Amino acid sequence: MFSKILIANRGEIACRVIKTCRKMGIATVAVYSDADQDALHVEMADEAVRIGPPPSAQSYLQVERIVQACKDTGAQAVHPGYGFLSERGAFAEALKEAGVTFIGPNNKAIAAMGDKIESKKLALAAKVSTVPGYVGEIRDEAHARKIAKEIGYPVMVKASAGGGGKGLRIVHKESELAQAIQSSQNEARASFGDDRLFIEKFVTEPRHIEIQVLGDKHGNVIYLGERECSIQRRHQKVIEEAPSPFLDEDTRRAMGEQAVALAKAVGYDSAGTVEFIVDKDRNFYFLEMNTRLQVEHPVTELITGLDLVELMIRSAAGEKLHIKQSNVTLNGWAVEARIYAEDPYRGFLPSTGRLIRYQPPPEGEYDGAMVRNDTGVYEGGEISVFYDPMIAKLCTHAGTRALAIEAMGEALDEFHIEGINHNIDFLSAIMHSERFREGRLSTAFIAEEYPDGFHGRPLDAGMARRFVAAALAIKLARTRRAGDISGTLNGTHQPNGDYSAAIGDTYFEIADAALTDGALNAVIDGNAYEAEVAWAPGEALLRLLENGQSHVFQVARLSGCYRLRHGGANVIVTLRSREAAELAALMPKKAAKDTSKTLLCPMPGLVVSVNVKEGQEVKAGEPLAVVEAMKMENVLTAGRDATVKKINARKGDSLALDDVIMEFA
């Protein structure tokens, strides 16, 4: 067994690998760029080595520097995590030449399966059902147009070395193809150093289901069940679960056996994932094989009780698998939600900045459900513009799917983040979606459920009243505290407990409100209301016990109102005396600033291209500029027909949020 391992990665996966190494008594070495010198994985490791400037191409993709770091620290093996160099055969070969063990599959398997084009050829030769498409690299745009016409739209443009949704675009019509090729190549080049592309048919109403395989260097390969990964946005997985609510035992076994056969064909000897597209009739098609640890591996660990990182390390060290296929059992249900630094209310645009507050729910078992949080950040840390926007992977495990989803909903409500925008409301809303709870999933789930974008979970009458009650409890607790401070007026501002509450344009009349020893009583719109409240001024979370059900709210006091988050809804509640509410209704409303004649940068990022010139007439939907943030390209389009009056930004400029890129006449 190795005594020292270097982790050639960053963020949560580097921290995840370090935890297992600690458990095994193995010393660890972290590598870091200048942007990550204060990162959590650097603090957790026993040693740390700087490998370059912030851009990945100048640091985490620098093979020579990582090999040199192994030599300098005496690391005997390297775990690559996922992304970066994890599926680069040249990296594994460079380590081998330096006498360092690569904790992953052998070079033959990486070459055969890590390349999406080659793996598809191998699958076809092995008579594995594959998605229709062109088996080979597209030469240029004209070649791509010819292939797409032959296959028929919609098609997928995919990076051969891709993964994690990078370098992948769905193209519905020929006019979208050129931009898709350009963006896919740029993302693939930046993320993987390889801009080769191929095209295949996009299967409509698909599910994305993958099989976890595990091999050793003695010819043994097993599969550890499947993961349902259909909840995706921009081909990036958002929520995963294991097992899948769609598969029956026969389909699971058939997919597993096919995945094992494919792995054995290339002598696979580590953890890997065979991905399939599954249609509504449970027909499945080989998509690709990821020759690395997957982001969503925790859900498999939770239902099998196995540590995949430990098994990868033991396999790399030459040990035999200690478990046979007949010993693999799937226990309960696990769900993973990826928490990203992005704003779901503004089209999921990336968000960067300092984590002023980062307080995840406590890990461990509560009421029969397990909570696990894999993260690579900490309170006070910085979310950088240079890397993937993932903050954490929150996982829950329980005896049934319904209980795991319920536990996830509550854990998300308790996850408190301030300083940057995040997608917790969005994840929570999905947990409460009837369609999700019923297991009616496809990769188009998000697009179909939120066709006009995400605007928060809609409030029904019961939820609205609950939000009013939470705001009322905060108001009464704050008023009582003010009255208890020496030198201030004793009592409340409203001796009779009468208030008026507003959520948007909906108003609620409150009478006889009182909060005594944590018991809230009031009459809301003529109906008696009572609940138990656990909250004190200054706390970020308020717990409301209503009719035996616990509801957790995140609390923020704004000027003249309260912002409350709960269950996927982000609500502002204004609470006033009735007299003040009557006067407020007479106040004029401030008109929103007119931004129709400008193109604003929707997030901090780097200008990849400006696609128009001053004086040019543009049509609604026409690409105007491309801005890159967190390794993803964002195409900014015209909202209406207009004429470009002035261009304020050029290729290579670094822009802040709401910087003016161009103005229109």
Among 274, 226, 233, 217, smallest CA distance to 249 is for: 226
Q: How many CB atoms lie within 10 A of CB 190?
A: 20
Name the residues annotated as catalytic.
Answer: 288
DSSP-derived letter for residue 138 is -
The pLDDT score that the predictor gives to residue 604 is 84
Q: How many CB atoms lie within 10 A of CB 72?
A: 12
Q: Collect all residues with Cβ–Cβ distance below 8 Å to 558 and sequence separation of at least 6.
A: 572
Judge contact between 383 and 341, C-beta under 8 A.
yes
Question: Which residues pair with residue 47 across a beta bridge?
Answer: 29
How do the residues of the chain divide into helix, strand and coil, expressed in percent and rounded to 5? 30, 35, 35
CA pair distance 303, 286, nearest whole angstrom: 24
- Residues 29, 31, 37: CA angle, nearest 5 degrees: 115
Judge contact between 58 and 52, C-beta under 8 A.
yes
The pLDDT score that the predictor gives to residue 166 is 82
In the chain, the amino acid numbered 354 is R
Pair of tokens at residue 54: 């912030």
Give pLDDT < 70 ranges for the chain: 164, 486-496
Q: Collect all residues with Cβ–Cβ distance below 8 Å to 291 and sequence separation of at least 6.
A: 86, 87, 104, 105, 109, 110, 113, 114, 268, 270, 272
Residues 282-328: tens digit of each pLDDT = 989 998 899 999 999 999 999 999 999 999 999 999 999 999 999 99
The pLDDT score that the predictor gives to residue 488 is 59
Q: How many CB atoms lie within 10 A of CB 27?
A: 18
CA pair distance 565, 665, nearest whole angstrom: 40
The fraction of the chain above a pLDDT of 90, given in percent, is: 76
Q: How many CB atoms lie within 10 A of CB 108?
A: 13
Q: Collect all residues with Cβ–Cβ distance below 8 Å to 516 and sequence separation of at least 6.
A: none
Among 80, 69, 70, smallest CA distance to 102 is for: 80
In the chain, the amino acid numbered 267 is G
Q: Do domains 208-331 and 336-447 have the same CATH topology?
A: yes
Pair of tokens at residue 111: 């070459």
Judge contact between 446 and 237, C-beta under 8 A.
no
CATH number of 336-447: 3.30.470.20
CATH number of 462-584: 3.30.700.30
Judge contact between 418 and 359, C-beta under 8 A.
no
Pair of tokens at residue 234: 């921009």
The pLDDT score that the predictor gives to residue 164 is 67
The fold for domain 208-331 equals D-amino Acid Aminotransferase; Chain A, domain 1 (3.30.470)
CA pair distance 336, 20, nearest whole angstrom: 19
Among 10, 32, 28, 8, smallest CA distance to 18 is for: 28
Among 455, 448, 402, 404, smallest CA distance to 426 is for: 455
Residues 6-17: tens digit of each pLDDT = 999 999 999 999
Phi-psi region of 497 (alpha: psi -120 to 50; beta: other; left: phi over 0): left
C-alpha 592, offset from chain centre:
32
CA pair distance 529, 507, nearest whole angstrom: 16
Pairing outcome for strands 47-52 and 27-33? parallel
Candidates 3.10.20.90, 3.30.1490.20, 2.60.40.10, 1.10.10.10; CATH matching 132-201:
3.30.1490.20
Judge contact between 284 and 209, C-beta under 8 A.
yes
Judge contact between 581 and 446, C-beta under 8 A.
no
Judge contact between 566 and 553, C-beta under 8 A.
yes
Question: Distance of CA 335 to CAs 389, 409, 654, Å?
Answer: 20, 11, 37
Helices (H), 450-541: 461-484
Residues 562-602: tens digit of each pLDDT = 999 999 999 999 999 888 888 888 888 777 778 889 999 98
Q: Which CATH architecture has domain 4-103?
A: 3-Layer(aba) Sandwich (3.40)
Whether cis (ω within 30° of 0) applies to the bond prior to 154 is yes
The pLDDT score that the predictor gives to residue 489 is 54
Pair of tokens at residue 619: 């049509």
The pLDDT score that the predictor gives to residue 486 is 60
pTM summary value: 0.84
Q: Collect all residues with Cβ–Cβ distance below 8 Å to 281 and sequence separation of at least 6.
A: none
The pLDDT score that the predictor gives to residue 493 is 47
Among 302, 53, 273, smallest CA distance to 163 is for: 273
Residues 305-316: tens digit of each pLDDT = 999 999 999 999
Question: Domain-by-domain residue ranges, the chain?
Answer: 4-103, 132-201, 208-331, 336-447, 462-584, 598-664
Helices (H), 232-348: 249-265, 297-304, 308-316
The fraction of the chain above a pLDDT of 70, given in percent, is: 98
CATH number of 598-664: 2.40.50.100
Q: Collect all residues with Cβ–Cβ distance below 8 Å to 438 and sequence separation of at least 6.
A: none
Phi-psi region of 488 (alpha: psi -120 to 50; beta: other; left: phi over 0): beta
